[in-house]
């Protein structure tokens, strides 16, 4: 197949590596890509957010499947334009992508579908925010309604801080005051063709910058999969995945279909395992980053066939994807100053030595080439991904590989997957 992958992060690199690991050889194109992706795909200079440019390119190059990585092209209507031209695309249209972009839309769909989530109040003024905070109680959760790159949410016991956060985002659009959902968080992905869904294997990510879940929220500093502790609570991964498929993913997909906005692509359910049951914190309309980097290396079935089946409405012909028993861990290396003001342009060393560690590969996020070699071009620079039999093995492989990489001021967490490493 000739496959075009849109995006430039470690998630897109992970997708490309999964496509390349298949027995069938594909011709893979990436836009805009990065220095790591350039080693595994043909990088093309194309504005991934421009529906007309992407459609022209895909048409001219006889692309069989377009895979959209990030949310920006979805919101820009790239999937709609491709679908109109009859080009198979994995990624929802603009209307269905609101499931991620508009928290109000997502809550309405969940209510209509009877999907468990926290209570939420739309507040238009500071007084309404104050009343909602008092009604729902502490800890307080206030969210901006719209894409805010992870910065729109505050979770705090401090009522004044919650009010100040709300004031910052209040404007023509209201803010959402939400019930706090306490418990372990799980990310679970579903492939959808608009009607049928197939679940992938769950993962957990680490959103805070520093060890022990301290420091500011980030795009994600690491992840692991599978989640062995699901055994105690649910009797195993399959039982958990079945529950979320039937009570959350299928009702939401059917609701969107019934409203004339079918969701074709990746439904990302951000879940909290509360004492009252599994509840949805958020949906995303795309693969998660960094969770994809630990889910796809365990996928046994050919990714290209699953994505094409979803894109062309044939998912019902496929059975649930199989995953290897192996463990996978991903640790993100970030630039100094990330997330507020990352310092870029610094040289990376030791990449080949790191990738040579058994069971390890690198998924590049923000890397580019200079005369001296590979340099960091953004906040999250790359993921060191390790696969092993046990989590003790995969984490030790990941961290020994990380120790070989040089980046001045580079930051990473040292406790990724620590909770699942057997003594
Ligand atoms: P979001 O932007 O909705 O993904 O929220 C980012 C993070 O904030 C989530 O992953 C949670 O850790 C936290 N969070 C968001 N909403 C809630 C909530 N209702 N209760 C508890 N934590 C939340
Ligand atoms: N891992 C969080 C996200 O992709 O939004």
371 pLDDT higher than 90: yes
Q: Tell me whether residue 367 is in a domain.
A: yes
304-309 mean pLDDT: 98
pLDDT at 150: 54
Whole-angstrom CA distances from 34 to 376, 401, 423 are 10, 21, 38
Q: 179 with 107: CB under 8 angstroms?
A: no
For residue range 343-369, what is the model confidence (pLDDT) as tens digits?
Answer: 999 999 999 999 999 999 999 999 999
| Proximal ligand: closest to the CA of 152 | 1
The CATH code of the domain that includes 194 is: 3.30.470.20
Q: What is the pLDDT of residue 307?
A: 98
Nearest CA owner, ligand 1 atom 11 = 281
Number of CB atoms found within 10 A of residue 9's CB = 27
Distance, CA of 15 to CA of 33 (rounded, Å):
12
Per cent of the chain over pLDDT 70 is 98
**Phi-psi label, residue 382: left if phi above 0, alpha if psi -120 to 50, beta otherwise:** beta
Pocket of ligand 1 (CB under 6 A): 118, 141, 150, 153, 155, 178, 180-181, 185, 207, 270, 281-282
Strands 380-388 and 42-43, bridge-based pairing: unpaired
pLDDT value of residue 148: 57
The first and second tokens of residue 196, run together, are 């049928």
- As for how many domains the chain has, the answer is 4
Residue 97 lies in a domain: no
Task: Check pocket membership of 100 for ligand 2, CB cut-off 6 A.
Answer: no
- Residue 147 confidence class, pLDDT cut points 50, 70, 90: low
The mean per-residue pLDDT over the stretch 373-393 comes to 98
Ligand 2: which atom is nearest the Cα of residue 290? 1
Write down the mean pLDDT value for the chain: 96
CATH of the domain at 50: 3.40.50.20
Annotate 390-409 with b (16+ C-beta within 10 A) or e (fewer).
Answer: ebebbbbbbbebbebbebee
**Judgement on whether residues 205 and 296 belong to the same structural domain of the protein:** yes
Confidence of residue 153 (pLDDT cuts 50, 70, 90): confident
Q: What is the pLDDT of residues 206-252, one digit of tens each?
A: 999 999 999 988 999 999 999 999 988 899 999 999 999 999 999 99
Task: Kindly state if the Cβ of 98 falls inside 6 Å of ligand 2.
Answer: no
Q: Is 7 in the pocket of ligand 2 (CB under 6 A)?
A: no
- pLDDT at site 144: 85
Give the global pTM: 0.96
Q: What are phi and psi of 381, to 5 degrees?
A: -90, -50
Asked, for residue 103, whether it belongs to a domain, the answer is no
pLDDT at 172: 82
Residues in the chain: 423
Please report whether residue 247 resides in a domain.
yes
C-beta 288 within 6 A of ligand 2: yes
- Indicate whether residue 291 lines ligand 2 (CB < 6 A): yes
Atom of ligand 1 nearest to the CA of 152: 2
CATH number at residue 334: 3.90.600.10
The rounded Å distance from CA 345 to ligand 1 centre is 32
Distance CA 8, CA 36 (A): 10
């Amino acid at each position: 197949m000739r496959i075009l992958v849109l995006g430039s992060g470690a998630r897109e690199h992970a997708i490309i590596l999964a496509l390349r690991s298949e027995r069938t050889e594909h011709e893979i194109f990436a836009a805009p890509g990065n220095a790591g992706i350039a080693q595994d795909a043909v990088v093309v200079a194309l504005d991934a957010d421009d529906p007309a440019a992407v459609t022209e390119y895909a048409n001219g190059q006889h692309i069989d499947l377009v895979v959209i990585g990030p949310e920006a092209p979805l919101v820009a209507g790239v999937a709609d334009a491709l679908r109109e031209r009859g080009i198979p695309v994995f990624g929802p249209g603009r209307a269905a992508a609101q499931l991620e972009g508009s928290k109000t839309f997502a809550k309405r769909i969940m209510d209509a579908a009877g999907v468990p989530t926290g209570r939420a109040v739309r507040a238009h003024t500071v007084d309404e925010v104050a009343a909602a905070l008092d009604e729902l109680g502490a800890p307080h959760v206030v969210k901006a309604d719209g894409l805010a790159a992870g910065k729109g949410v505050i979770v705090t016991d401090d009522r004044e801080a919650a009010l100040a956060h709300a004031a910052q985002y209040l404007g023509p659009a209201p803010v959402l005051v939400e019930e706090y959902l306490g418990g372990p968080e799980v990310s679970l992905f579903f492939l959808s063709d608009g009607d049928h869904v197939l679940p992938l294997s769950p993962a957990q990510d680490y959103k805070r910058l520093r060890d022990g879940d301290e420091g500011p929220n980030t795009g994600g500093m690491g992840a692991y999969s599978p989640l062995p502790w699901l055994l105690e609570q649910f009797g195993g991964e399959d039982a958990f995945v079945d529950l979320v498929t039937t009570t959350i993913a299928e009702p939401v997909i059917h609701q969107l279909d019934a409203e004339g906005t079918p969701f074709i692509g990746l439904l990302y359910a951000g879940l909290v395992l509360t004492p009252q049951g599994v509840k949805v914190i958020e949906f995303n309309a795309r693969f998660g980053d960094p969770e994809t980097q630990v889910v796809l290396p365990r996928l046994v079935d050919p990714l290209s066939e699953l994505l094409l089946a979803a894109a062309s409405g044939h998912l019902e012909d496929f059975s649930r994807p199989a995953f290897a028993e192996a463990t996978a861990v991903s640790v993100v290396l970030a630039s100094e100053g990330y997330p507020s003001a990352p310092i870029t342009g610094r040289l990376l060393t030791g990449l080949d030595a790191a990738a040579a560690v058994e069971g390890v590969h690198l998924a590049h996020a923000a890397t580019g080439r200079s005369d001296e070699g590979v340099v960091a071009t953004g906040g999250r620079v790359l993921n060191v991904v390790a696969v092993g039999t046990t989590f003790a093995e995969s984490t030790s492989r990941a961290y020994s590989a990380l120790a070989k990489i040089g980046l001045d001021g580079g930051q990473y967490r040292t406790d990724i997957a620590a909770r699942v490493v057997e003594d």
